[in-house]
Amino acid sequence: MLLGGLLYFSAPWLADAVFRKPQMAGVLRAFSLGVPFVAGMNVATAGTRASQRMQYAVYAHDLLRPSLNLLAVLALYVLGWRLLGAVAAGVLSFGVALVASVYYLTKLFPEMLNVRLKPTFVTGELLLFSIPLLFVGFLGMLIMWTDTLMLGYFRPSADVGIYRAASQMAILLTMTLAALNAIFAPMIAELYHRESLEALHELFKVGAKWGFYLTLPLFLIMFFCASEILEVVFGVAYIAGVLPLIILASAQLVNVATGSVGNMLIMSGHQRVWFLNTLSVAAANVLLNLILIPRLGIPGAAIATGISIAGLFLLGLIEVRLILRMSPYDRRYLKGIAAGVVAAGIALSIHFMLPESLPLGLSLLVQVMAILGGFTAVLVSLGLDPEDRTIWRVVRARVR
């Protein structure tokens, strides 16, 4: 509520001094109303995930909120609300998701509703663990937004729009990792607390491997079809975002390929190490953007942010190796690399073989199917590992 209030009252200054768009003040103030809803929903969904029953967070955060947001945007747009309608839809969806998350939390832990229950915990110990993570979350958001904010200050708004489209496409690469992190975080904490270090190491390896397997084909699609994707999704004017998309997608691939290094450090009691990493990278990111954006424009913002993202997780990878004596890599990783090399060769060949007269959408579809098919075929031909077969059986049973 404090941050929402600060955003509300500073909106005129931000709109005028930072974005140079005085008319943005009303939009920023409307968004500020949703800040408490976002924070409350994140806390409540994290509480449900702590039980290792993931479906409740999926229902509220991943299904209800975006579905309601989309429907509300469409309805309010038809009613003529346009931009403010989109903002109102976002605020509404987070509010409803907050209510649903709290409902699921009380369903899991009904004793929360007992007014006679006296909670017992060590306040000092809790704060010592939590405060660094509070700043980690803030600094992580700062790293993800510094490029856009500084680009808005130094460059025309059209450049900001092009860059934002490219950066949002690149963030899609982290979907699998975000899902795995949500699942593995409580498991990492439990295994480390029980001193089951061998099982923890195996979990680290399997998570990194599957994150890499599921993300590499999507990266190859973005790498070889960047111009087609931007033109089909956003329009011809956004083709200027091809190079930033490739740079940012490469950085996010490094993020995914290092596995859950952040959670490995945090859940093993080394949250201060991760906080110092994030603080250092956030400061370096600001400096790099200040240097590169005035000189290079959109590519400069992508290079600065790409270096920061890749550097943060490579640093975490080294620290997990030094502190916990664990690495996410073994021979199983080589299968994904081999499949990626073959899929890249197929994509490169098809890219030059397709006739220019082929419709853009069809050309993109052919390349996507070739990359996915080639990658999957090589991976299967090299043989599935025992845990892969187990996951496949579970997925197949769920689908049935």
pLDDT in tens, 116-170: 877 776 677 778 888 888 889 889 889 989 999 999 889 988 999 999 999 999 9
Residues 6+ positions from 150 with CB-CB distance below 8 Å: 286, 289, 290, 293, 301
Q: What is the DSSP letter of 382?
A: T
pTM for this predicted structure: 0.82
What is the band of 399 on the pLDDT scale with cuts at 50, 70, 90?
A: confident
- Which pair of tokens denotes residue 103? 């409902």
Structural domain contains residue 364: no
Structural domain contains residue 38: yes
Structural domain contains residue 15: no
What is the band of 93 on the pLDDT scale with cuts at 50, 70, 90?
A: very high
> Whole domain around residue 50: which residue ranges?
34-113
Structural domain contains residue 50: yes
Residues 259, 204: contact at Cβ < 8 Å? Answer: yes
Mean pLDDT for all residues in the chain = 90
Q: How many domains does the chain have?
A: 1
Per-residue pLDDT, 124 = 75
Structural domain contains residue 358: no
- Secondary structure (3-state) at 337: helix
What is the arithmetic mean of pLDDT over 249-272? 93
H or E segment at 119?
A: none
Structural domain contains residue 299: no
Look-up of token digits 């509070």: 134
Structural domain contains residue 346: no
H or E segment at 247?
A: helix 242-257
Q: Is the confidence at residue 321, as pLDDT, over 90?
A: yes
Q: Is the confidence at residue 58, as pLDDT, over 70?
A: yes
Other CB atoms within a 10 A radius of the CB of residue 378 amount to 18
Structural domain contains residue 74: yes
Per-residue pLDDT, 121 = 67
Per-residue pLDDT, 327 = 93
